Amino acid sequence: MSSDKIQVTFEDGRRQVFPRGISLDEALKASGGPDRAWIAARLDGNLVDLKRTLDADATVEGLSADSDKGLEILRHSASHIMAEAVKALFPEARVAIGPAIEHGFYYDFEVEKPFTEEDLERIEAKMAEIISSRLTFQRKEISREDAIAFFQKRREMYKVELLGEIPDAMVSLYEQGDFVDLCRGPHIPDTGSVKAFKLTSVAGAYWRGDERNRMLQRIYGTAFGDKEALEKYLHFLEEAHKRDHRRLGRELDLFSFSDEVGAGMVIYHPKGAILRHILEAFEKREHLRRGYHLVMGPTLLKTELWKRSGHFDHYRENMYFTEIEEQSYGIKPMNCLAHMLIYKSKIRSYRDLPLRLFELGTVHRHEKSGVLHGLLRVRQFTQDDAHILCMPEQLHKEIQDIIDFVIEVMGIFGFAYDMEISTRPEKSIGTELDWERATNALISALEDKGIPYTMCEGEGAFYGPKIDVKLRDALDRRWQCATIQCDFTLPERFDLTYIGVDGQRHRPVMVHRVILGAIERFLGVLIEHFAGAFPTWLAPVQAVVVTVSDAQLPFARQTFEKVRDLGVRVELDDRNEKLGYKIREAQVQKIPYMLVIGDREVAGGHISPRRRDGTQLETMTPESFAALIEKECLDATKGKVGLGII
RNA sequence: GCCGGCGUAGCUCAGUGGCAGAGCAGCUGAUUCGUAAUCAGCAGGUCGCGGGUUCAAAUCCCAUCGCCGGCUCCA
């Protein structure tokens, strides 16, 4: 290859020769590849601006707003545009940081007065102006010292602070219009690439996420490469809002909260309570099937005991205390203590292990008022909690069994989930060997099953590593449900032992684990997952009997009682309304089956079932209907739940 | 806990200093109807709670409880 030519390999494998020094932009245009609006590129694997020139042979991939990376770059640029708009309207504002995030971007500002909704509109208008003037993003590389001097002169102290922590001698700045930001890049070629954007909300946020620091004002927004994508996203938000469990909880009459009762306390109405009963009955059965013992511990335990377990030192802020006859008691925030005492109630042999103690344990935690969120974050909740005490060599098998359990249950409910392994944090106790063995047990359990997971280094509990299983709510927020945690501390603190084959005392290992997690939270995610239209096996009301007119009421009552006797959760709508009205009610209540009774059905001794999806079934006897839905329940739960579970 | 917003009938909401409103739901009556809303009438309020300003407060101010969006936290 002559010295003034270079060879470029494109993403799709095509190769082409260009003059040395050609820009990526020109190379992509000349490449004859798909004609798309490129906004940045990957050059030999690194993300770069389109203006970057090619001085040697290279592989090149153009990025458009259709790709995840491209969209991320677009949104990052949108945050710079927003910052420029804010600086233009509020010259006294100081800029902090402004990254792209999962569904958009934000930028943090230090301002005297928080932004208002009207401010957001003005900022949006200014952004639209900046976008239509198609300002180019210019990259500049300067020395760190010069950058510090530059931002100091502009009194952008947050940037100066950030620069103080960058070790590199050279840093890059990006400039568009009057706005200059410290930024690694890359960015879109000019502001015109942002075809659709919207500022969504404003909220306070601590500088660097530390509550000891000053609270800044964060503006959230989102941006896309075309208007349709933005419309689609806004539509998604609308749909998500409709399936918000707090809204459905009220509409379907499942539960409520009351400011007279207090924050974070769930009041279960009949339909919500039956849902919970179904979940709990399902769980008890599944735990017994897997060799767990059902136990129950008290709610109040002496504070002395919480001191011994370490909760008083490490968890006091989240606990409620009370006094009974001059003796201090703590309300349990976790269920482990009684389980420890059950273990200790007699001498244990290796033959007793593993010992699996399961409790649907109701706990109370003092969560800060600002974090409460419907059923997903409450102050009183019930965990499907178990503690497994086993020999160290049994740990691997126990963890695998728990993972199987979690997978089977998530499969029945139809949840997708993400798994995370959290390793040793800085502040922790236990030997290096213990941690290594436990962490490896968790990793190998997941790897043996071929389950993908992410590592969260240093995110473990102080007493041991853990696997967390996260489910997503309607708005794509992730909530921890199942968790599997190894613990070396409690067996130590409570001096738990077992007699080994060798006749000597040994220390058992403990695993804390929940499958659904908190029943409340799980229920909340479940409601959103099904948008309130529960499968028949979970539906609080499985069928409603509706008549064409009052004339069929006597037969309808008989039928209703018969179907109820067969174990179906059924209701009778005996209101004097037209059939269409009653069908609509049932539909809105998302009841799986409507059992229609008119003169024809009375004559034949039949019912005419209609599914909530609108399908009309053959007329049938109450017995065949019960058999039909029993089969449906069994099919949905892999044979575990039929009729009359509770 | 922190920043901002909000709290009016069971629900969704209108009402910004001068008589507390609408739709749906509820109740009563009429209608007796075949698969997503029959008609009419009636009733329903401590305007979250407590103070204050004012001749007068749902409306303005303070405090408090609760809710919403974030931040922080989440053993």
For residue A590, give the nucleotide whose C1' atom is nearest its CA. Answer: B36
pTM of the predicted structure, to 2 decimals: 0.92
Closest CA relative to residue A484, chosen from A517, A462, A440 = A517
End-to-end Cα spacing for chain A: 79
Amino acid A461: pLDDT: 83
Q: Annotated catalytic, A552? A: no
Q: Annotated catalytic, A16? A: no
Amino acid at A298: P
Q: What is the DSSP letter of A201?
A: E
Place of tokens 């229920």: A523
The residue annotated as part of the active site, out of A365, A379, A424, A590, is A365
Closest CA relative to residue A151, chosen from A166, A131, A136, A134 = A166
Amino acid A293: pLDDT: 97
- Asked if A52 and A22 count as a contact pair (C-beta separation under 8 A), the reply is no
Q: Does pLDDT of A1 surpass 60?
A: no
Q: Is the CB of A599 under 7 A from strand B?
A: yes
Protein residue at shortest CA distance from C1' of B11? A251
Look at residue A154 and give its three-state secondary structure. Answer: coil
A526/B58 CA-to-C1' distance in Å: 39
Q: pLDDT by residue (tens digit) across A169-211?
A: 999 999 999 999 999 989 999 999 999 999 999 999 999 999 8
Protein residue at shortest CA distance from C1' of B39? A577
Closest CA relative to residue A570, chosen from A591, A585, A589, A588 = A591
Cα–Cα distance, A327 to A95 (Å, whole number): 54
- Asked if A529 and A415 count as a contact pair (C-beta separation under 8 A), the reply is yes
A258/B15 CA-to-C1' distance in Å: 26
A242/B70 CA-to-C1' distance in Å: 21
Amino acid A32: pLDDT: 72
The residue annotated as part of the active site, out of A183, A336, A390, A633, is A336
Protein residue at shortest CA distance from C1' of B3? A204
What positions of strand B are covered by protein, i.e. any atom < 7 Å from a CB? 1-5, 7, 11-12, 26, 30-38, 48, 65-75
Q: Is the CB of A601 under 7 A from strand B?
A: yes
Average pLDDT of chain A? 92
Subset of residues 259-318 in chain A with CB less than 7 angstroms from any atom in strand B? 259, 262-264, 310-311, 314-315, 318
Q: Is the dihedral of CA A598, A599, A600, A605 positive or negative?
A: positive
Q: Is the CB of A213 under 7 A from strand B?
A: no
A548/B37 CA-to-C1' distance in Å: 15
Amino acid A372: pLDDT: 95
Protein residue at shortest CA distance from C1' of B65? A259
Q: Annotated catalytic, A365? A: yes
Cα–Cα distance, A595 to A609 (Å, whole number): 4
Q: pLDDT by residue (tens digit) across A472-499?
A: 887 778 889 999 999 888 999 999 999 9
A298: cis peptide before it, omega within 30°?
no
Amino acid A169: pLDDT: 92
Amino acid at A287: H
Q: Is the CB of A618 under 7 A from strand B?
A: no
State the pairing for strand pair A509-518/A505-506.
unpaired
Average pLDDT over residues A102-128: 92
A477/B9 CA-to-C1' distance in Å: 35
Q: pLDDT by residue (tens digit) across A396-439?
A: 999 999 999 999 999 999 998 999 999 988 777 778 888 888 89
The residue annotated as part of the active site, out of A49, A385, A434, A468, is A385
Q: Is the CB of A373 under 7 A from strand B?
A: yes
Give A477: exposed, middle or buried? Use CB within 10 Å, 0-12, 13-18, 19+.
middle
Residues above pLDDT 90, as percent of chain A: 76
Average pLDDT over residues A3-10: 84
Subset of residues 30-59 in chain A with CB less than 7 angstroms from any atom in strand B? none
Q: Annotated catalytic, A155? A: no
ipTM of this complex prediction, to 2 decimal places: 0.94
A218/B13 CA-to-C1' distance in Å: 30
For residue A427, give the nucleotide whose C1' atom is nearest its CA. Answer: B75
Place of tokens 């849902």: A275
A218/B20 CA-to-C1' distance in Å: 39
Q: Is the CB of A210 under 7 A from strand B?
A: yes
Q: Is the CB of A204 under 7 A from strand B?
A: yes
A586/B37 CA-to-C1' distance in Å: 12
Q: pLDDT by residue (tens digit) across A614-628?
A: 999 999 999 999 999
The residue annotated as part of the active site, out of A176, A217, A383, A485, is A383
Q: pLDDT by residue (tens digit) across A520-551?
A: 999 999 999 999 999 999 999 999 999 999 99
Average pLDDT over residues A448-463: 88
A209/B50 CA-to-C1' distance in Å: 36
The residue annotated as part of the active site, out of A276, A387, A513, A582, is A387
Average pLDDT over residues A69-95: 95
Joined together, the tokens standing for residue A29 give: 């245009």
Q: pLDDT by residue (tens digit) across A72-84?
A: 999 999 999 999 9
Confidence of residue A2 (pLDDT cuts 50, 70, 90): low
C-alpha pair distances (Å), A392 with each of A135, A185, A281, A500, A515: 63, 49, 32, 12, 22
- Partners of A612 in the beta sheet? none
Q: Annotated catalytic, A466? A: yes
Joined together, the tokens standing for residue A364 give: 């109370």
For residue A429, give the nucleotide whose C1' atom is nearest its CA. Answer: B75
Amino acid A489: pLDDT: 85
A156, HSE (Cβ side, Cα atoms, 13 Å)? 23
Subset of residues 536-595 in chain A with CB less than 7 angstroms from any atom in strand B? 548-551, 575-581, 583-584, 587-588, 594
- Asked if A54 and A23 count as a contact pair (C-beta separation under 8 A), the reply is yes
Subset of residues 85-114 in chain A with CB less than 7 angstroms from any atom in strand B? 114
The residue annotated as part of the active site, out of A126, A159, A348, A466, is A466
